[in-house]
A and B are shown apart, each in its own frame.
Chain A
């Protein structure tokens, strides 16, 4: 979908045309689900993705500038609100993954393998600070460029580069069992 098509779709959606809203939703649902999948517990991802679209519908009249950037900012607000409501600072580790790994671990006798199984990359993302998680998800999982990430997170490109360096360093430390220094 090129920019003109997206603008046309947004125009129609703002006018309340259900078909355009459906098309927007169907178009961006997979991207937002992916974002949520790596930001919150897997069993919450679909519900929170739905919540993003409900907020999009409520606020579509006020949308200006890049639509995808606006969408991801709403998604982040949904994540933050959810965490605040749940009283949890960090992301709940995906239960299904953990269960699976624990079952696998029980079958093994090698302690080192058990530790390795528990600290996989997805779990390590969940151990990052909120800003680092957001950056990692937008940049490496959604595949966005620095300009988009910078616009979504409302930080300068230089700050984004430092945050990226710290996030990847923290992941390296988590994966190698070093003590992690949190910094945003």
Chain B
């Protein structure tokens, strides 16, 4: 038993070293007497750690969300006081999961209808629901930021369509548009170059485009005009904030006959300067 405990402790120490980046040989170098006994176990541990992840199907996730929706609905029926209902009200939530599941079963042909869904449409909550699910199924930070840029573009497109359809500007859509773009660009410090610069550059172009697009909104009353102006100003400020990071020397003029000092962008600090409401 004592021998087993000693081997177990040595194995655990070696596993820690291997997890820390050492090779199996290096990890065993201090335990030469036990190397023959432990090497096959460390090999197996390494093989276990490289077993493949299962494929996560969106249909499986939707099925789970559907069950949760049904469960929540059943619970809420037995409660005397209704709880707060957000944009994902429970019936919608359950219905959304069911619809997405059906869409997966009948194929992606219906996906166009989903992509074109606008606020107020029956499918619009489903569209937001799939966006959210896709985002959480995306584990890579760069891909998540890319998705947020896509979502931000969609919110603008929806705001334009909504304004053309009803003549009204939906401030919530504009707010979501800016928030998605902000969250996308806040991921920049986590990324290696050149992905970092590319992301900020894309977000800056998107923000400029959104600034221009908002300028083309035709509105008939002052209140709406003020809303548009407010959001355009925010786009302009954020565009400047991003460009400043892409080219940090642009905001200062170096003294003549003197080489400008190399400025290392402070990405972490820059993140805190994001213009907010």
Contact = CB atoms under 8 A, between A and B. Distances in A.
A45 B68 contact: no
Contacts of A27: 136
Contact of B41 (A141, A158, A168): A168
B67 interface: yes
A25 B53 contact: no
B64 A158 contact: no
Contact of A54 (B15, B54, B71): B71
Interface string B139-157: 1000000000000000000
A138 to B, nearest CB: 11
B221 interface: no
Contacts, number: 126
Interface string A108-146: 000000000000011001000000000010001101001
Contact of B8 (A17, A34, A122, A162): A162
Interface string B39-59: 011001101110101101100
B123 to A, nearest CB: 17
Given A22-B93, A27-B136, A29-B64, A57 B72 contact: yes
A16 B83 CA distance: 7
A7 interface: no
B202 to A, nearest CB: 24
Given A15-B83, A18-B93, A57-B72, A141 B48 contact: yes
A15 B86 CA distance: 12
Contacts of B53: 30, 34
A172 B44 contact: yes
A148 interface: no
Interface of A is mostly: helix
Interface string B13-39: 001000000000000000000000000
Interface residues of A, number: 45
Contacts of A37: 54
Nearest to B7: A165
Interface of B: 4-5, 7-9, 11-12, 15, 40-41, 44-45, 47-49, 51, 53-54, 56-57, 60-61, 63-65, 67-69, 71-72, 76, 83-84, 86-90, 93, 129, 132-133, 135-137, 139
